[in-house]
Structure 1
Amino acid sequence: MGNRVAEHRARMKARGYKEVRYWVPDVTDPAFVRRISEQAPALNEADRSEGTADFLDEVQAETLGEQ
């Protein structure tokens, strides 16, 4: 199987792609779920009070020509 992976990587590299690996949080980890559950209300409130969602909607409308 390792050979298939190496061949795939070689083909992708020949097409001009570069392999990049990312480490992301394990969203099934109970500690992560707990942290998100604790932080989400504060983030949502900050979004509402600072008008972030409205700003992003305006940027999207301008970008897509929906003014």
Structure 2
Amino acid sequence: MKLSSRCLFGLTSALSLVAMAVSLLHPNPAVAADRVYLSNPDIQAAVIGKGMLSKNLPSGAMSH
């Protein structure tokens, strides 16, 4: 095994151990109740600045 391969393996192992230690110290998962879910018109208004009118041609329905 080359020296550079050994260094890379050692660095990867060390980072894995650090990540494992951090996850053990902070076991609380993210709380889904804190998330805000946007509706399709909200997303369109935020991204484009206005709602989009789309036609669903197979069903003949129109939505805003």
| Structure holding more helix per residue | 1
Which is higher, the Rg of structure 1 or of structure 2? 2
Same fold per superposition (TM over 0.5): no
Q: Which has the higher contact order (CA 8 A, sep 6+)?
A: 2
| Structure holding more strand per residue | 2
